[in-house]
Amino acid sequence: MTRSSPTTAAAVGAAPEPAGWVCCPDCGWLLYRKRLDRNLHVCPECDHHLRLSARARIVLLTDPGSFTEVAFQPGAPDPLSFTDLRDYPDRLADAARRSGESEAVVVGLARIGGAETVVAVMDFAFLGGSMGVEVGRRVSGAAELALERGLPLVTVCASGGARMQEGVFSLFQMARVSEAFGRLREAGLLSVCVLTDPTYGGVSASFATLASVLVGERGAHVGFAGPRVVQETIRAELPADFQTAEFLLAHGLVDRVENRGDLRPLLVRLLALHGSGVPDGAPDDGGAAHVAASDAEEADPWDVVQRARDVDRPTTLDYLHTAFDDFVELHGDRAFADDAAVVGGVASIGGRTVVVIGQEKGHTVRERVARNFGMPHPEGYRKALRLLDHAETFGFPVVTLVDTPGAHPGPEAEERGQSHAIAETIMRSSRLRVPVVSVVTGEGGSGGALALCTSDRLLVLENAYLSVISPEGCAAILWRTAVAAPTAARAMRLGAAHLRTSGIATSVVPEPPGGAHTDPAAAARLLRQALVRELDDVCRLDVATLLDSRSRRLDRIGGDVDRTLQPVEG
């Protein structure tokens, strides 16, 4: 049959489904149940992800045979003695009979990729996955169990919101579970929430969006108020993709959107990266990557500028896929958008877990337009701020890869607080309680670059530079013609050698002859060696020493090394 065949369930109206067949609720196609089971209950015709029970989710996500359910003593079943068309206890009994569960969430211990994990999985079949006192007690209990055993927590949400039949008692479960997740965050324990269809109301406005990492299942609808309520309230036409997981990703509200079959592999990687995070054995030999000040030849500054801007020069994503061992990208500022000019996430290098943040330009014209030529908007810097917080929470060192002409200067960036976002990022990184290693890999334009350069170690590639303004901008202002850009570049002494001799850069990373773009693989090896060496060195410092030495390093730039305040005479 073809997709246009009239024999779909939609075409036959209210006709019952034949035995062994299931009607897709999205496209109306009749699907053979065994084929649907093999396809993880994803429609092969339209890719619609059908709802799964809590037990089916547990089988899908955890190692076979590893799940052990945690039992909870039953609480008061009807705090309000609530009755509508039926008594509330009757509704609870009916929900238990239909779903096969005692409540709308199942909690237990399991292994995911061999990592012991606490899991809490909601079941929409039990009163629409609504959160009442018992659900709040079980979810907060799952968080407490994770805290007690020092384990990560994985939750899977499917809910219509707070449970009306329990009134204000239900409302305050939002505070109860939020406090429990706050304690997990304070303890530096990983929490991952998988948002499935649907996740609304009090659940979406509490623990569902408070996890360390938020993953939306493809096509899931997630929001505070349902679309029907929104339309009735504001009387406005809603976007076609309103409140879908993809809508949330575009607006910076989730880290990732995954197909159902990709959820488990992602969880395995996240749990592995958030393990000990400390390398075993001897680190990679990074000695060859160091170039002392006397060894770095002073190239012509204008030549450096041209090489730093070469469209074939490796970008942040190129290095993430070659110099690092694994990288899971995390998206969004959790407030407005996901800025494609800034990429970041959790990575591993030389056996050590790090948080990586960098500007990304792309190579082709289409990529460069999509990435805004590596010029971040405020939401890009706020994404960086969120990732800095993630690093500090889990005790991971930070690596930043800097390559930008500068922050985006448009009116929309000003409206959304560009200066505030840059200033907050600089201040946050200057006081971060974990090590920060920055690498200037290409252009380093003004404050837009400095936001990711405030660090304990500042490395600069041989053909990279930092500048207070572009050579063209400087020439236009002081020479009154952009043609004088080469002269301006030389006057500002742009390049790695000057950064090293002035004490701004702590070391220079060599490049293959002719520049990194001539041999990207070799450039990645050299960068990897330098990063492993610097991380191994700086990660030995305790927090107090780290903060003090970072502050003193900033004080020394420009020659001021004496913090003692002297009285002014006369």
* Nearest-angstrom CA–CA distance, 422 and 428: 10
Q: What angle do CA 557, 563, 569 make, to 5 degrees?
A: 115
Residues near 501 by Cβ (< 8 Å), separated by ≥ 6? 293
Strand partners, 115: 112
Asked if 447 contacts 407 with a C-beta cutoff of 8 angstroms, the reply is yes
Contact 376, 412 (CB under 8 A): no
**Of 356, 520, 375, the residue nearest 438 (C-alpha):** 356
> Coil, strand, or helix at residue 120?
strand
Q: Which long-range contacts (CB under 8 A, 24 or more apart) does 471-476 make?
A: 471/302, 471/305
Q: Would the annotation count 193 as a binding residue?
A: no
> CA 508, CA 464: separation in Å to the nearest integer?
10
Residue 474 marked as a ligand binder: no
User: Please, which residues have CB within 8 angstroms of residue 271's CB and are 6 or more apart in sequence?
Assistant: 112, 113, 115, 117, 152, 190
Q: Beta strands 105-112 and 398-404: pairing type?
A: unpaired
Do 256 and 266 touch, CB atoms closer than 8 A? yes
CA proximity to 196, closest of 178, 212, 208:
208
Partnered with residue 467 across adjacent β-strands are 445
46 is in an annotated binding site: yes
SS3 label, residue 143: helix
Three-class secondary structure of residue 318 per DSSP: helix
Answer for the pair 516, 500: CB distance below 8 angstroms, yes or no: no
Phi, psi of 213 (to 5 degrees): -130, 130
Q: What's the CA gap between 516 and 440, in Å, rounded?
A: 13
Cα–Cα distance measured from residue 343 to residue 330, given in angstroms and rounded to the nearest whole number? 8
Does the annotation flag 539 for ligand binding? no
The two structure tokens encoding residue 537: 């060195």
The pair of three-digit structure tokens given for residue 102, joined into one six-digit string: 């005692």
Q: Which residues are annotated as a binding site?
A: 23, 27, 43, 46
Q: Which residues are annotated as a binding site for Zn(2+)?
A: 23, 27, 43, 46
